[in-house]
Structure 1
Amino acid sequence: IMNKKLSPEDAFYENLTLGLTKTLSNVPRVCNVNLERRQPLNTCQVVNWEQRHCVYLPEDMKKFYLSTDGFVLNWSYQYAPNDIRCVGYIHFPHLLQVTLLRENIENTYTGLASASSSSLSGATNSAAVVKDKWDNPVPIITARTKIFEINNVNEMAKVCMLYDSTSSNNPRFYLLELATLSWQFLAETFSEYLRMAIAHLGLPYWELCFSSFGLPSWTEQLFLLLAPHLLEKHELRRGRVINPACEHPYNIIDPNIFRGKPKSVAKVPANSSKPHNK
């Protein structure tokens, strides 16, 4: 079985997801692991997106979209013999779906930011740095900030890509908590955010591990069943880079894989079902 040669496309997705489909297939009660493959974008489509929004995509994110226009991976969990539910979900949107947050919301953030900065004007520079729950600096939203929505997490939070200004091409990734409009740092780069999604196995709402309010209880139960190490106070995660423990060797992405996607992509197999839209 080990001799089975992967097609170039299979090898690309295997490398992109760090072998996650194989890892999940070996987990008891996990079934129906499905990866929706997508055609790559061409350079013109990426440049059009950049020109429309007056920003440059970071290099790793650009290579990703020139290799595959996002992807969806989902899986089911068998709670009982006749109770199988689709719960696992990793979603990287089509580039066209990466959109600016609505203008009125951005204005609200700007107002909040200016209010907080004016209230801190008398403080020293070191004291003026606002930190999130995990002691990471909270972004300072100004008129030059560009905020793009990457994912909506259970209508409770949004994963956002923040550019400090249009001249920047190294946006950071944050979780915006919708109830309080507060920010929690997620990742320094697109590659790190992708690594985090994979390291968390696509467990439902995994991003909420890094929120101030935590996971829904049913999701936490799944974490405890399948990956209890991910709930251990995230001490490794706080160091910015997910350090691969030897028993979890699927945390490292080689950026060179993005160049390995074959030009002509094979058709999606007929037996690959469409994922749910939730």
Structure 2
Amino acid sequence: MSNNSSSLPKDLFDRLTLGVVRSLEKRPGVCDIQLKDISPAERHLVISWEQQNSCILPEDLKQFYLTSNGFHLEWNVRFEDQSVHLGHMEVNPIEKVVKLAGGRNTPNAPSLADVDYDTDDEVETNSVALSHGRKLPHFDIRSRVFELDPCEGYGKVCLVYNNAKQGTPAADSEIWFLDRSFHWHFIAESFSQYFRLMIMNLGLPLWHFALTDIGLPNHAQQWFYMYAPLQLDFDSQIVENDHESRKCSNSNMLEEFQNKIDVNKVFKGKTEKKSKVAASATSSRKKTLSKSTASGSSARAQSTTPSRFK
């Protein structure tokens, strides 16, 4: 393993990276582990970021930047006597945590905010259902979205503040993954959870897709089977649990909606008619059932009578 100039104690790096470097060094074929040793961010940079973007950094992310201004780890594998790049883990430094969907460069140029053209209630409801009961991020004023990791070009990991209001600092944030087709995928409730997931997945190619409904492509699965087979099962379990949570959430929402319905008001003037029709239908079914039972019993009796008694 090679590092840049030392700025943090080795034991602090081990705690920060959960010992992932030592774990990688023991794996067959792994070579050229490059972990950048990055100095802490100055406190005034963190405060300045919050003021400029009108957002309060979550405490775990703030402490991370005050410990190390970003994170960058890469590792290769030995393949046919060549060193091939494979793993990549990255968190942008505080000065590169930039807002997505800024203003237009020219009046006629489209922006990411133009993607959010679906604003009616029906589409919003469907969006909530499709994101495991969570409200989808937006590129317009409803959300504030900042890039945490460029993901080597196949997507972006974003720090998302939903329910943003103009003139009010945003406080509640989540971690989402934005793929290249501009579809959002929820990843973690906090930066600490996301950082642990990144370490546990070893920064393997396209690992973020293991936590989405899309799933990993076949070639990426092969690397997981080789270097993190148990983690692949764990990621699948996370997705399944999200689906179960969504089902429970939707069921509770449906039950709550039904409890709010006043049947007497909704069906006023029709309740008596419906009850009479229902009673009549029930009576008819009982009579038909009695006749069919009687005829069936008679037929069975005849069929079971010995031939000498006929």
TM-score, with length taken from structure 2:
0.65
Q: Distance in 2 between matches of 1:186 and 1:140?
A: 13
Whether 1:215 and 2:216 are equivalent positions in the alignment is: yes
Q: Distance in 2 between matches of 1:128 and 1:36?
A: 39
Distance 1:140 1:72, change over 3 A: closer
Partner of 1:13: 13
Q: Deviations over 1:159-215 (max 9, x none)?
A: 111101253323101111222x22111010010110000010121221121244333
TM-score, with length taken from structure 1:
0.72
Q: How does 1:1-278 map to 2 (within 5 A)?
A: 9-80=9-80, 82-103=81-102, 105-112=111-118, 114=119, 117-120=120-123, 129-132=128-131, 135-141=132-138, 143-164=141-162, 165=164, 167-179=169-181, 181-232=182-233, 234-238=235-239, 239=241
- Please state whether the residue corresponding to 2:10 is helix, strand or coil: helix
Q: Deviations over 1:196-254 (max 9, x none)?
A: 000101212211212443334332211111112222273443458xxxxxxxxxxxxxx
Q: Does the 8 Å contact 1:148/1:160 carry over to 2?
A: yes
Superposed displacement of residue 92, structure 1: 1.0
Q: Distance in 1 between matches of 2:78 and 2:84?
A: 7
Superposed displacement of residue 143, structure 1: 2.0
Relative to total residues, which structure has the larger helix share, 1 or 2? Answer: 2
In structure 1, the gaps of 5 or more residues are 1-6, 241-278
Superposed displacement of residue 84, structure 1: 1.9
Q: Distance in 2 between matches of 1:208 and 1:41?
A: 30
Aligned residues: 223
Higher relative contact order (CA 8 A, sep 6+): 1
Distance 1:172 1:105, change over 3 A: farther
Distance 1:205 1:235, change over 3 A: closer
CA RMSD in angstroms, aligned pairs only: 2.4
- Please state whether the residue corresponding to 2:18 is helix, strand or coil: coil
Superposed displacement of residue 89, structure 1: 0.8
Superposed displacement of residue 140, structure 1: 5.0
Q: Which has the larger radius of gyration?
A: 2
Distance 1:99 1:169, change over 3 A: same
Q: Deviations over 1:98-147 (max 9, x none)?
A: 100133544124323x1xx43358xxx7x773223xx3524253623101
In structure 2, the gaps of 5 or more residues are 1-6, 103-109, 243-310
Partner of 2:280: none
Superposed displacement of residue 8, structure 1: 6.3
Q: Does the 8 Å contact 1:177/1:211 carry over to 2?
A: no
Q: Does the 8 Å contact 1:170/1:189 carry over to 2?
A: no
Q: What residue identity is the alignment partner of 2:142?
A: R
